[in-house]
Copies of this chain bind each other. A is one copy, B any other.
């Protein structure tokens, strides 16, 4: 994964609204949810939700499919898995067994 992609994904998930939306859709899996359901479920004004859905979709964390007059959104779970791989790669110079806990702060 490219650095810029990873940054955009973290940006996407760094807002409370967007993280809630993404996790809600991760739970729903393939079924997904239409925009209005998401708005009701999370109690976010539609205009604001739309702003966040757009950001998530542009960064490919969500896919969107038209369904009559509804827009159905789904989480892009494989992308999330790629991100996880990116975060843990090259851990400890290739010796992940050395990843010991630094408890002090």
Q: Which residues of A contact B (CB under 8 A)?
A: 3, 6-7, 10-11, 13-16, 19-20, 23, 26-30, 32, 57, 60, 63-65, 74-78, 80-81, 84, 87-88, 90-93, 95, 98-105
- Number of this chain's copies in the assembly equals 2
Describe A's contact surface by its main secondary structure.
helix
13 inter-chain pairs at a CB distance below 8 angstroms, sorted by A residue, are A10-B13, A28-B92, A28-B93, A29-B95, A29-B98, A32-B102, A63-B104, A65-B104, A76-B102, A77-B92, A77-B102, A84-B84, A84-B87
A77 & B90 in contact (Cβ 8 Å cutoff): no
Shortest Cβ distance from A77 into B: residue? B99
Alpha-carbon gap, A7 to B65, bound state (A): 27
